[in-house]
Structure 1
Amino acid sequence: MGPFGLDRRQREKRIEHSAKGGRNQVLALCSMPSAPCVCILLAIFFLSLISGCGGPMTYIHPTADLTYITTVAVVPLKNLTQDPGAEGKVMNVVAAEILIRGVFDVVEFGEVAKVLREEGFKEKEGEISKSVAERAGKRLNVQAFIVGSVEEYGMSRTGQSSYPEVSLSLRLIDAKSYKILWEATYSEKGTTVLDRLLGIGKKSPSDLCKEVVAEMFDTLFGG
């Protein structure tokens, strides 16, 4: 276990162990002389659990020490979706999650955008260079930047059913050294096999985004 939570290999082992236990229980119940429909329902339920048991793919720098970070700035995220306002929605969720956890202060978006623009940052490119990060970091008095992209945000459709889908990539980079301190990528659908079969459990993209961002930061700060 690293200083900020379970690493990917440990999470995968837990998921694998849970999945094996669930399969064994389903097989034991289905071998009994009970009604076939019970077995079918149990199988559907098990599939719904497996479909939602993934988690963020993460990286934490082996020597990362975040104790020196008091304030961060969220760089305008690169929007790769069909929603022209998706990056702003995700940025609001990211900033809110950081403030709720009380780990860092967050510079107001308007001030960040102004300083970055004056230092030569091109928002359409969605990437901040090392030189811009260093200059802007000094002006904004931040120790790190949060950068990333929004790959999916909105409602997707399969057949006659629709469901929310969110896919994000976030990085925490040191303002001076440009070192990647933490990185997480997470794609999630707001539905399971059982939800789609029964037509229940639908979420909005904004609700799903809050869950995705929270799980991503859990890998850094712990749940």
Structure 2
Amino acid sequence: MNSYVRDDIDLSFINRIAVLPFENNSSDKYAASRIRNIAITQILSLGLADVIDKGLVDSVILEEAVEANKPIDQMTLKRLGQRLNVQAFLMGNVDSSGTVRRGSMTFPSAALTLRFVDARAAKILWQASGYYSGETVMNRLFGLSPGDHFQISTTLVRRLLMTYPAPPPEARQKEVEKDL
């Protein structure tokens, strides 16, 4: 896993985010939607930020006539940020999602790239990429179940998000209270 954090910006200003639809570069046509849902759950469970409901996000994207799997320009990101009242977006790419075969065994696998993008400046604030599969020595030696695509995706998303340098919950709470 590799990650990048912009060091010239204090990330504690991020309290509310919108998770945009992920790009899908895999043959699994539902991977992007599934992993977007997992990312929303993991962001909330890790306490990284408040997340705007994806139905509202999708509705605003539709109203703004943003095309799926097309780059979003800075002005459009800024408008989306203002309409959704968010400081940043989580964007992602499903680089691969499938099954790996090793001998007679098959294992689910996934490769993802996640990034937080500033809603005003369209700068990448944080980005992480990684690969994870259900293949382990223990699974192969003892014929243990390697898990399914959901479990593999959840583990990978959580590991990637754990590289994000979130401020402590009490610092986030103070920022939220300022907004009220």
Which residue of the partner structure matches residue 145 of structure 1? 89
| Higher radius of gyration, 1 or 2 | 1
Which residue of the partner structure matches residue 202 of structure 1? 146
Please give the secondary structure, in 2, of the residue aligned with 1:183.
strand
Distance in 2, matches of 1:166 and 1:194, equals: 19
Higher helix share: 1
Which residue of the partner structure matches residue 47 of structure 2? 102
Structure 1 residue 194 displacement after superposition? 4.1
Give runs of ≥4 in structure 1 deviating > 3 Å.
none
Residue by residue, what CA displacement relative to the aligned partner does 1:49-83 show, whole Å, maximum 9, x if unpaired? xxxxxxx2000001231211111001100011111
- Computed over aligned residues only, the root mean square deviation of the Cα atoms, in angstroms, reads 1.5
Which residue of the partner structure matches residue 175 of structure 1? 119
Distance in 1, matches of 2:120 and 2:49, equals: 17
Structure 1 residue 114 displacement after superposition? 1.6
Instruction: State whether residues 191 and 201 of structure 1, in contact with CA within 8 Å, keep that contact through their aligned partners in structure 2.
Output: no
Percent of residue pairs bearing the same amino acid type? 33
1:91 pairs, out of 23, 31, 36, with 36
Structure 1 residue 201 displacement after superposition? 4.4
Q: 1:180 to 1:193 in 2, by over 3 A?
A: same
Distance in 2, matches of 1:82 and 1:143, equals: 32
Paired residue total: 166
Counterparts of residues 127-138 of structure 1 (less than 5 Å): 127-138=71-82
Distance in 2, matches of 1:161 and 1:154, equals: 14
Q: 1:124 to 1:179 in 2, by over 3 A?
A: closer
Structure 1 residue 111 displacement after superposition? 1.1
Residue by residue, what CA displacement relative to the aligned partner does 1:29-63 show, whole Å, maximum 9, x if unpaired? xxxxxxxxxxxxxxxxxxxxxxxxxxx20000012
After TM superposition, the score normalised by the length of structure 2 is 0.86
Q: Counterpart amino acid of 1:122?
A: E
Which residue of the partner structure matches residue 105 of structure 2? 161
Distance in 1, matches of 2:79 and 2:32, equals: 24
Q: Which has the higher contact order (CA 8 A, sep 6+)?
A: 2
After TM superposition, the score normalised by the length of structure 1 is 0.70
List alignment gaps of at least 5 residues for structure 2. Answer: 167-180
Distance in 2, matches of 1:111 and 1:84, equals: 22
List alignment gaps of at least 5 residues for structure 1. Answer: 1-55
Distance in 1, matches of 2:35 and 2:9, equals: 25
